[in-house]
Structure 1
Amino acid sequence: MLKVQEIRELIKLIDESTINEFTYENEGTTVKMKKGEVVLRSENATQQQVKEVIPTPPIEEKNESNQPKAVENNQPKEKEIARSEENLKEITSPMVGTFYSASSPEAEPYVKVGSKVKKDSVVCIIEAMKLFNEIEAEVQGEIVEILVENGQLLEYGQPLFLVKPE
């Protein structure tokens, strides 16, 4: 049976590709994916179905002249305003993977809000393809916000921490 992490990775790969439909069979388990939904069906004695709906991009509306409508959002997000006013720096994910705040479940997190970091300070671990990669701050300052949760899947370039530089 596929692990949840493996299914998530498959979903991500299919979502980012041009493939519209995908089927995977292994040891009595069939995973079928179509853009827009994922169906996991186990062929064991107990029949189970699990559906996870993946949001699809909104359909673009057009005006009378068949041109795309301009989406108006004149109010910037409050967090974006705060970031620019305080001149905060983001520590971003250098890869796709899973975020871990500590070296093991029993260990203390590398950093907390208020922690002082140097450029070479390890701030977290990102697991990608069974490899654990230590991520360094690359900026000196104080952690003011942690933007992700322990065990969360990450995208390339996703903000992880906000740092007030010194």
Structure 2
Amino acid sequence: MLKIQEIREIIKLIDQSSIEKFSYEVDGAKLELKKGNGQKASTIVETAPSIQQEIPAVPVPKIEEVIALQQEKPADLAAVQIEDPNLIKITSPMVGTFYSASSPDVPAYVQKGDSVKPEAIVCIVEAMKLFNEIEAEVSGEIVEILVKDGQLVEYGQPLFLVRAN
């Protein structure tokens, strides 16, 4: 089965080329791209012989947009505050979107000043529609929350600073 990133790359390549129609089949899954009249490519994925699903083309950000987003990031608070040897960083185990609560209408898992235990859930990182609960893995007090709700996070990016007990 094709991964979403592979499909995005194929869409990008077809969109930039003069090819009007593209078909690819692997492991029973069929990918068919068609474009015409200056419109973006659309994707038809067939997972079984009788089921077809149309997926709109995924816009790929331009390199200038990615650079601009990276320049907007505030200075890394962890680098400034990590002087205290009792402060431990809770980092993101994956690339995804940070959520402080399980849904918008419930309180955040943790707030500044809260005590946590190793098995306590501190946030959710969503990656490809999978919501991954992140545990503290340390006992202590939340000193700082380094990211905002809904913010994209990178692998290894500090999310919280915890003062260990």
Between the two proteins, the alignment pairs up a number of residues equal to: 115
The answer for the alignment partner of 1:155 in structure 2 is 154
Q: 1:163 to 1:78 in 2, by over 3 A?
A: closer
Residue 117 of structure 1: aligned partner:
116
Looking at structure 2, the residues matched to 149 and 133 of structure 1 have their Cα atoms a distance apart, in angstroms, of 17
TM-score by length of 1: 0.58
CA displacement, residues 100-139 of structure 1 (integer Å, 9 cap, x when unaligned): 0001100000000000000000000111111111100001
Any stretches of 5+ residues in structure 2 without a counterpart? 16-39, 44-55, 69-75
The 2-side partners of 1:91 and 1:161 are apart by 5
Contact 2:78 2:158 in 1 (8 A): no
Ranges in structure 1 where 5+ consecutive residues have no aligned partner: 1-8, 15-20, 38-52, 57-76
Contact 1:100 1:150 in 2 (8 A): yes
- What TM-score do the two structures reach when normalised by structure 2? 0.59
* Aligned-pair CA distance for 1:148: 0.4
In the TM superposition, what whole-angstrom CA distance separates every residue of 1:14-45 from its partner, at most 9, and x where no partner exists? 7xxxxxx74362288684665x34xxxxxxxx
CA contact (8 A) 1:25 1:31 kept: no
Percent identity reads 53
Match of 1:88 in 2: 87
Matches within 5 A, 1:58-97: 80-97=79-96
Q: Aligned residue for 1:104?
A: 103
Runs of 4+ with >4 A deviation: 27-34
Partners in 2 of 1:32 and 1:130 — Cα distance?
Answer: 18
Structure 1 residues 120 and 29: alpha-carbon distance in aligned structure 2, compared to 1, 3 A threshold: closer
Aligned Cα root-mean-square deviation (Å): 3.1
What SS class does the counterpart of residue 84 from structure 2 fall into? helix
Q: Separation in 1 of the partners of 2:159 and 2:145?
A: 6
Matches within 5 A, 1:1-150: 22=13, 23=15, 25-26=41-42, 31=59, 36-37=63-64, 53-55=65-67, 80-150=79-149
Aligned partners of 2:116, 2:162: CA distance in 1, in Å?
9
Q: Secondary structure at the match of 2:79?
A: helix
In 2, the alpha carbon distance for the partners of 1:105 and 1:144 equals: 23
